[in-house]
Amino acid sequence: MIPDWFQGGCLCGAVRYRARGRPLRTLVCHCRFCQKMTGSTGYAQSLFPVEAVAIEGSLQVYDHRSENSGKAVHLHFCPRCGTTVTLMFERWPEYRALSRGTFDDPNQVEIGSHIWTESAQSGVVLPADTDCFRGARAALDGTPLEPARYAGPTVARPSP
């Protein structure tokens, strides 16, 4: 069941947030930027309209220029514990991504798609019956791209 509010915060608790309504989408990104940013295999995020999210506590911002689009991605992180709580995008100023791992209960929302699977790390398994995009969900001009859907769990990048 989707709650009225999502709540979450950073590792140390200095930054807390509330998000109203349900996210526009929740996805896992396997691009190299997300791998570097998290230090892990990918980044699970929920996209909300900017006005639906209220944040308490102060965040610092690191601006990263996307190699794909040339546009800036703004990483908002807790200056005390370093948790990346939220991203904002020069390309989509009306949206804010909340890091799914920072929700008090990450399982309140299901992952709807996986993107940039072509750069997924070895050992990553994509779930069945879920939209999987080799790159972005849409071309740079906004044209939606066609996802793959697998009948069973599928290794994103078979070991060489």
Q: Which residues bind Zn ion (CB under 5 A)?
A: 10, 12, 14, 29, 31, 33-34, 78, 80-81
Measured from the Cβ of residue 89, the count of other Cβ atoms closer than 10 Å reads 17
Question: In terms of CB distance, is 2 or 92 closer to Zn ion?
Answer: 92
Whole-number minimum distance, CB 155 to Zn ion, in Å?
20
Q: Please report, as a single letter, which amino acid is at residue 107.
A: N
Quickly list H helices, 21-140: 32-38
* CA pair distance 103, 86, nearest whole angstrom: 11
* CA pair distance 26, 98, nearest whole angstrom: 9
Whole-number minimum distance, CB 67 to Zn ion, in Å?
11
Whole-number minimum distance, CB 90 to Zn ion, in Å?
15
Question: In terms of CB distance, is 37 or 109 closer to Zn ion?
Answer: 37
Q: Are 120 and 41 in contact (CB under 8 A)?
A: yes
Question: In terms of CB distance, is 85 or 109 closer to Zn ion?
Answer: 85
Question: In terms of CB distance, is 64 or 80 closer to Zn ion?
Answer: 80
| Residue of 123, 121, 129, 120 whose CA lies nearest to 152 | 129
